Amino acid sequence: MQDGKTITEMEIINAPWNKELTISDVTYEGGFKMMHIRIKEGKRFTDLELDYETAGHMAEMMGKWAKDNTPAE
């Protein structure tokens, strides 16, 4: 535990244009949970924390986009 929170890395995703996404589960003291996404672009980092409602909504939107934009075989 660091700074009153426990961080569990879930997955690292290599994305287009040499970007790396690190997805982690963060549990704060008292049990509050967030999904942490770190986007690494060269030497620059962007951090984003999502609650379960926002993460679920984003997952639905991303899934729909991926389905709608999958090339026909």
This model's pTM is above 0.75: yes
Tokens of 30: 């008292």
Helix (H) or strand (E) holding 61: helix 52-68
Q: For residue 43, give Cα distances in angstroms to 12, 20, 46.
A: 17, 11, 10
> In the chain, where do the E strands start and end?
5-15, 19-28, 33-41, 44-50
> What is residue 70's DSSP assignment?
S
pLDDT tens-digit series, residues 12-69: 999 999 999 999 999 999 999 999 999 999 999 999 999 999 999 999 999 999 999 9
> What is residue 2's DSSP assignment?
B
